[in-house]
Structure 1
Amino acid sequence: MGRKKTVEFDENPPDNFDPSNPYGDPVAMLEYREYLVREKWIQIEMAKIIRERVKWCYRIEGVNHHQKCRHLVQQYLDATRGVGWGKDHRPPELHGLP
Structure 2
Amino acid sequence: MTEGRPKFEHAPEVSFDEIDYRNHADLKAAQESMLKEQFVKVEMVKFVRKALENCFKVNGPNGYEECRNLADKYLDMLPECRAQGYLGYQRNDPKK
TM-score w.r.t. the length of structure 1 is 0.67
Gaps of 5+ in 1: 91-98
Runs of 4+ in 1 over 3 A off after TM superposition: 14-18
Alpha-carbon distance between aligned partners in 1 of 2:7 and 2:54, rounded to the nearest angstrom: 35
The structure where helix makes up a greater share of residues is 2
Alpha-carbon distance between aligned partners in 2 of 1:7 and 1:80, rounded to the nearest angstrom: 28
TM-score w.r.t. the length of structure 2 is 0.68
User: RMSD value over aligned CA atoms?
Assistant: 2.7
Task: Determine what percentage of the aligned residue pairs are the same residue.
Answer: 21
Alignment of 1:7-46 (within 5 A): 8-13=9-14, 17-18=18-19, 23-46=21-44
Aligned with 2:67 (options 50, 54, 69): 69
Alpha-carbon distance between aligned partners in 2 of 1:27 and 1:7, rounded to the nearest angstrom: 23
Secondary structure of the 1:31 match is: helix
Gaps of 5+ in 2: 1-5, 89-96
Aligned to 1:96: none
Show CA shifts across 1:27-51 (max 9, x none): 1111010001000110011101111
Contact 2:45-2:77 within 8 A present in 1 as well: yes
Show CA shifts across 1:45-73 (max 9, x none): 11011111000011111111111101001
Alpha-carbon distance between aligned partners in 2 of 1:14 and 1:50, rounded to the nearest angstrom: 27
Contact 1:17-1:28 within 8 A present in 2 as well: no
**Number of paired residues?**
81
Aligned with 2:46 (options 45, 48, 53): 48
